[in-house]
Amino acid sequence: MADMKRIDVVFEGIGRTTGKMRNDIHVDWPAQGESFDLATDEGPFHGGDGTAPPPLALFTAALTGCLMTQIRAFAKRLKIEIGEVEVRARLHWYCEAAPGEPYVSHPVGFDLDVDLDSPASLDDRMRLLDAAKKGCFLEQTLSQGLTVGHRLRDGEDWIDA
């Protein structure tokens, strides 16, 4: 395993409430020296002003875009010729609540249909998609599962929560 090459990828975000339901989130990718100003909001139905997409819309774009990016990056590396790529995504959750209780949400299933404009054989296209799935940071995180860590500020202290 001495020849394995490892790269750490760290993103940092600072989110602040800036409207009734709007959040402005400054995202840094320190290793690349890149930063991005993003925002989420909710529509009037959920008490927001609709000034930005809801978090799940950003997530849908992130998941779809992550796989598409890996498909193109790995096509070059595996020397599999592709032209345009179209991916259709369907992400399904449900939430449920007992009367008077906060709701609890659950994933049902996420499905991505991939259409590659490519003269490559089905075998090669399957090999490419397989590599892209394994390279996709978000799919790998979802399939391996991960419990997010939390701390809550209490005065000058940070309490594990």
Contacts of 102 (CB under 8 A, 6+ apart): none
Within 52-71, the residues that bind its own copies by CB under 8 A are 53-66, 68-69
137 Cα distance to chain centroid: 8
Among 5, 49, 51, 81, contact with its own copies (rule: CB under 8 A): 5
Please, which of residues 131-150 interact with its own copies by CB under 8 A?
Answer: 131, 133-150
Quick one: residue 32, left, alpha or beta (phi over 0 = left, psi -120 to 50 = alpha)? alpha
| 120 near its own copies (CB under 8 A) | no
CB of 81 to its own copies, least distance (A): 14
Judged by CB under 8 A, which of 49, 81, 103, 119 binds its own copies?
A: 103
- Strand (E) or helix (H) holding 117: none
Residues 14-43: x where in contact with its own copies by CB under 8 A, - otherwise, as a string: xxxx---x-x-x-x-x--x-x-x-xxx-xx
Q: Is 135 helix (H, G, I), strand (E, B) or coil?
A: helix
Instruction: Tell me: does residue 123 bind its own copies (CB under 8 A).
Output: no
- Asked if 94 touches its own copies (CB under 8 A), the answer is yes
Asked if 109 touches its own copies (CB under 8 A), the answer is: yes
Contact 72, 64 (CB under 8 A): no
Instruction: Closer to its own copies by CB, 81 or 141: give it.
Output: 141
Distances (CA, A) of 42 to 17, 23, 80, 118, 145: 12, 10, 41, 39, 27
